Amino acid sequence: MEVLHLAFYIGLITFITLVIYKGIKIASSPVHLRWELYPVAHEKGKARYGGSYLEEFEWWTKPLKKDLFGELWTMSQEIILLKGVWEHNRSLWFGSAPFHYALYLYILFTMLTIIGLIFGYNPFDSKIESNYFTSLLNIILWVASILGIIGSIILLVKRIFDVNLRLYSNPSHYFNIIIIGALYATSFIWLLGSNNAISEISGFYNGVFTFSTIPNLPICGYIHFYLLSFFMFYLPFTHMTHFFMKYFTYHKVRWDDEPNFPDSKIRKKLMEQLNFPVRWSAPHIGADGRKTWLVIATSPLPTKENKNG
């Protein structure tokens, strides 16, 4: 087994394992403090003006109707168009959009490469079908590399020179942009210096997933895959896990308006949580690390006299 093989396996296994672990941990965590901010995307017929089922007379006697299309439409605008960035920080969007589109294209390129290998695609074959497929992969990687470099440069410059962004940036933010930008830069150099870059990349993935020898790669190719291996290993330890955590932010915080009916799942969870001890240090709620939420919620708030006496 080659060192590059081993590095890629460690990166991939770490990525998959920690993403699954974090996903399960978040999904099984206590009920989050819900925002109850409207509009909620799944409110059928009411989301467009910020309404909710609470407007209905005796709403608790009627079945709740959810609009799946509304959720998908709102999510697609955020994922594909980066609507939130466009509306709240438009100058940042011009760096964030190419940066994210490059990532989407790079993932698409990798998936198509692996799917092609599964269905018998041979990058060294001279058949017309193989040539078309190779050309498609070539175009996708070129576009991804160029967009990624442009987006990385803009984001890096914004974080360095924009006072507001610089205040909220720490070394990891800069490092993340640099490491991802380096991935795009090495793929760009690889494409620029080799006429067989797509075949070499396909040969690498074929070697990795069939546990066979990988073909000789140019120096930038080795650098690229070592960077990719490190990035997969590194990503689960960073805030970049927002790529899947956003699901919970939207569905369990922003949009969770499930009513607290008797015998409902949420009622049972909340009753359990009311017996959790409160370890806040804030004196205004009288928490001492032993009192539960139920005790604090049903007790009078501490007064200055109580605290001094």
- Run of H or E residues at 94: helix 90-118
Q: Report which of residues 73 and 35 the model is more confident about.
A: 73
pLDDT at residue 269 tops 80:
yes
Across the chain, mean pLDDT equals 89
Tokens of 118: 């599964």
Asked if the model's pLDDT at residue 309 lies above 60, the reply is no
> Residue with structure tokens 């380096």?
182
- Helix locations, 162-273, DSSP H: 163-167, 171-193, 197-209, 219-234, 242-249, 265-273
User: Which amino acid does the sequence have at 219?
Assistant: I
Which pLDDT does position 285 carry in this prediction? Answer: 82
The H or E element that residue 104 is part of is helix 90-118
pLDDT for 95 beyond 70:
yes
Residue 73 is predicted with a pLDDT of 92
The set of long-range contacts for 22-30, using a CB threshold of 8 Å and a minimum separation of 24, is 22/236, 22/241, 22/245, 23/244, 26/245, 26/248, 27/248, 30/269, 30/272, 30/273, 30/276
Q: Which of 184, 185, 224 minimizes the C-alpha distance to 201?
A: 224
Flag whether pLDDT at 258 surpasses 90: no
- What is the per-residue pLDDT across 150-169, written as a single tens digit (0 to 9) for each? 999 999 999 999 998 999 89
Confidence (pLDDT) at 180: 97
How confident is residue 281, by pLDDT bands cut at 50, 70 and 90?
Answer: confident
Per mean pLDDT, which range of 76-85, 189-198, 264-273 is the poorest? 264-273
* pLDDT tens per residue across span 179-233: 999 999 999 999 999 988 999 999 999 999 888 888 889 999 999 999 999 999 9
| 23 vs 303, higher pLDDT | 23
* pLDDT class of 123 with cuts at 50, 70, 90: low
Domains and CATH numbers, the chain: 3-30+88-237 (1.20.950.20), 34-81+240-273 (no CATH), 276-308 (no CATH)
Q: Which of 94-108, 117-131, 226-240, 252-266 has the lowest mean pLDDT?
A: 117-131
pLDDT at residue 129 tops 80: no
What's the distance, Cα to Cα, between the start and end of the chain in Å?
71
